[in-house]
């Protein structure tokens, strides 16, 4: 089964780049298209988007149909939604607005079975709704799960060394818009304080085996960030790409 082999996690372990396409509109075809377009990860957005309990199931299936790993961007440290996403077969969870070691520990605990965490065991898709071997799945699930944390708060940057020491974290995903705004410099993605936070995350990530994620502003920026050590790229959202393409085409069609 596709969701029992986390291709995205394997790529990160090999030090390879993973490109993610965010889908905030809860329509499975968009998730499938993103995978078919070559994105290794589809980020199903339940924080800023409207992907929710009722739409997760079809969107996770569609992501796998397109050949990508679905990651659910949770609205918070929400026990119910995280449990549902994982039981539907999500390859991992991205948690927003992590601030403290306690937040990080809770995020890991929601995604991992005991003894590493406290994820509830239910007969969902990964174990064939009870028809598969639940013991085999549980035995390998923790190692196969991605736990990603948004680093978008100054408090998180201050606590980052302690957060990085929490076992079970796979990705520090930098949130430059929120972080720069919190520092008092709204939407300055390359403000020196944001760059310092990124460099700190890279240093700690290398020490603890945690991949660092970023949002590149261009193709060249992605290449530069890769050379600096970033490996997870929130490259584009379906909505912003569609808006830009529609706008560009409409302007190109103007007479004269």
- In this prediction the pTM is 0.96
Question: What are 73's strand-pairing partners?
Answer: 45, 94
Q: CATH homologous superfamily for 2-252?
A: Phosphoenolpyruvate-binding domains (3.20.20.60)
CB 236 within 8 Å of CB 196: no
Per annotation, catalytic residue among 48, 97, 191, 208: 48
**How does pLDDT run across 22-80, given as a tens digit for each residue?**
999 999 999 999 999 999 999 999 999 999 999 999 999 999 999 999 999 999 998 99
C-alpha closest to that of 92 among 141, 139, 152: 141
* Residue ranges of domains in the chain: 2-252
Is residue 48 annotated as a catalytic residue, yes or no? yes
Kindly tell me if the per-residue pLDDT of 205 is higher than 90.
yes
Distance of CA 12 to the CA centre of its chain: 12
Q: Which helix (H) or strand (E) holds 73?
A: strand 69-73
C-alpha closest to that of 234 among 7, 14, 46, 17: 17
* Residue in the block written with tokens 């660092």: 212
pLDDT recorded at residue 2: 45
Give the CA dihedral 195, 196, 199, 204, nearest 10 degrees.
Answer: -140
The Cα 153–Cα 14 span in angstroms is 29
The Cα 97–Cα 157 span in angstroms is 11
Per-chain mean pLDDT for the chain: 95
């Amino acid at each position: 089964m596709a969701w029992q082999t986390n291709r995205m996690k394997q790529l990160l372990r090999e030090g390879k780049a993973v490109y993610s396409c965010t889908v905030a509109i809860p329509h499975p075809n968009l998730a499938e298209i993103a995978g078919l377009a070559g994105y290794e990860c589809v980020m199903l957005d339940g924080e800023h988007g409207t992907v929710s309990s009722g739409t997760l199931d079809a969107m996770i299936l569609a992501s796998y149909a397109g050949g990508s790993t679905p990651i659910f961007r949770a609205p918070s440290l929400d026990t119910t939604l995280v449990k549902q996403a994982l039981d539907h077969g999500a390859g991992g969870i991205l948690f927003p607005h992590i601030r403290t070691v306690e937040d990080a520990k809770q995020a890991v605990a929601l995604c991992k079975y005991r003894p590493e965490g406290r994820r509830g065991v239910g007969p969902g898709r990964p174990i064939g709704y009870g028809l598969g071997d639940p013991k085999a799945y549980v035995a390998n699930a923790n190692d196969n799960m991605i736990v990603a944390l948004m680093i978008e708060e100054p408090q998180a940057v201050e606590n980052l060394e302690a957060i990085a020491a929490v076992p079970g974290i796979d990705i520090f995903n930098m949130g430059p818009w929120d972080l720069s705004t919190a520092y008092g410099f709204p939407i300055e993605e390359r403000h020196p304080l944001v760059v310092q936070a990124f460099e700190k995350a890279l240093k700690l990530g290398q020490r603890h085996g945690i991949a660092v994620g970023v949002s590149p502003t261009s193709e060249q920026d992605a290449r530069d960030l890769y050379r600096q050590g970033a490996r997870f790229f929130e490259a584009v959202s379906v909505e912003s790409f569609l808006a830009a393409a529609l706008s560009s085409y409409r302007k190109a069609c103007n007479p004269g």
